[in-house]
Amino acid sequence: MFFRFTLISLILFLSLLSNVIAKDSQVIATINGKNISLKELNAGIKTPLFDAQMKVYNLQYSQLKNLLLQEFAKSHPLGKNLSFPAFMEKYVVKNTTVTEQMVSQFIKINKIPANKINAKYRGQVTKYLRSDLIKKQVTIWFEKESKKHKVAINLKRPERPRINIPVGQSPTLGNKDAKITIIEYSDFQCPYCAKAEGTVRELLKKYGKDIRLVYKQYPLSFHKEAFKASEASLCANEQSNEFFWKLHDEMFNDIRHLKVGELKGKAEKLGMNKKQFSDCIKSGKYTAQVNAEIAEGNKYGVSSTPMFFVNGIVVKGAKPFSEFEKIILEELEIN
């Protein structure tokens, strides 16, 4: 009996695998006798494709949750003579009071500038906090009723795409055998990149032994000083990896002063060999590497900065600590 079930499972798996392979190899265009497959098409749009799939999934999951909530309400002893909205309002969403203290606390935690705070803004915060309270109460009741009714949800969340990027000659920080490799494409003149560095430091502080950080150059064309700053960082790296990260921090702490003369001053302040650093920048010996990393970034879908790949999983922009941590915890569990 066990052998029979194993054989059936194997046949089903092979059948599913053949369907996936067949789908990937599906020819969607032909030019001069050359075929373009679905796999080739999707290879360059993995991240936006995943984002689109997640939108569909979230829409479907939200509708499924709503249908289940309606079924829970129908089967509840107190819900027989009430409409679904009336039942939810009377028995599930019991407290939506948002106090002035809660609004003030939200403003303090999120460090909202004083010049943005007015009656209209406080009203928007109140509305947001009330919506959040409702969502939390509904979620608690949904989870409780799901257990009670033994709900099984078979709607599958799209699998995160992974993009394998070679480390190459890029500067690294941390253990090369770490379970998590974060590859960062960044621009030393980008304010969002500077903001993201605070989050990166927090991650390294909390998960240091498990993280290796790789810095890739992606100076944006409209940042006039960014390209030379990228070259300067590699000139610092030429003297030592430690100098690279020191200059990296120095530049991100002061993104408004990145002219060549100012970069030389920073290098001297950090104790680098002044002549070697100056000659390196003047020679343009790392221009090719910076251009190569920009081209590499373009190949992997980078179009703005900062952009991170956490074990190949894309995190676009200066996202909060929690978004990185969620992926890191998942990856640590897997590895």
Tell me the DSSP string of 55-104: HHHHHHHHHHHHHHHHHHHHHSTT-TTS-HHHHIIIII-------HHHHH
The pLDDT of residue 301 is above 90:
no
The pLDDT of residue 291 is above 60:
yes
159 pLDDT band, cuts 50/70/90, is confident
What contacts 293, CB < 8 A, 6 or more positions away?
168, 170, 185, 216, 217, 218
**Closest-CA residue to 223 (of 256, 199, 248, 181):** 256
The pLDDT of residue 325 is above 90:
yes
Rounded average pLDDT over 96-117: 90
Q: Which residues of 195-206 are buried (b: 16+ CB within 10 A; e: fewer)?
A: ebbebbeebbee
Kind of pairing between the strands at 27-31 and 180-186: unpaired
Segment 45-101, tens digit of pLDDT: 877 888 899 999 999 999 999 999 999 999 999 988 899 999 999 999 988 899 999
What contacts 212, CB < 8 A, 6 or more positions away?
172, 173, 174, 175, 176, 178, 180, 181, 182
Rounded average pLDDT over 32-37: 93
**Closest-CA residue to 233 (of 222, 221, 223, 219):** 219
Is 0.75 topped by the overall pTM? no
Residue 323, pLDDT score: 92
Q: What share of the chain has pLDDT > 90, as a percent?
A: 78
Higher pLDDT, 51 or 236: 236
Cβ contact 251:237 at 8 Å: no
Cβ contact 317:306 at 8 Å: yes
Name the least confident of 10-24, 138-152, 269-283, 287-301: 10-24
Phi and psi at residue 97, to the nearest 5°: -75, 125
The pLDDT of residue 109 is above 90:
no
Residue 13, pLDDT score: 52
Residue 1, pLDDT score: 46
Domains annotated for the chain, with CATH where assigned, are 47-148 (no CATH), 172-334 (3.40.30.10)
Residue 8, pLDDT score: 57
Cβ contact 184:214 at 8 Å: yes
pLDDT, the chain, mean = 91
Rounded average pLDDT over 300-314: 94
Cβ contact 227:259 at 8 Å: no
Residue 254, pLDDT score: 95
Residue 212, pLDDT score: 97
Rounded average pLDDT over 7-35: 69
Name the least confident of 22-31, 52-61, 121-130, 174-183: 22-31
Q: What share of the chain has pLDDT > 70, as a percent?
A: 93
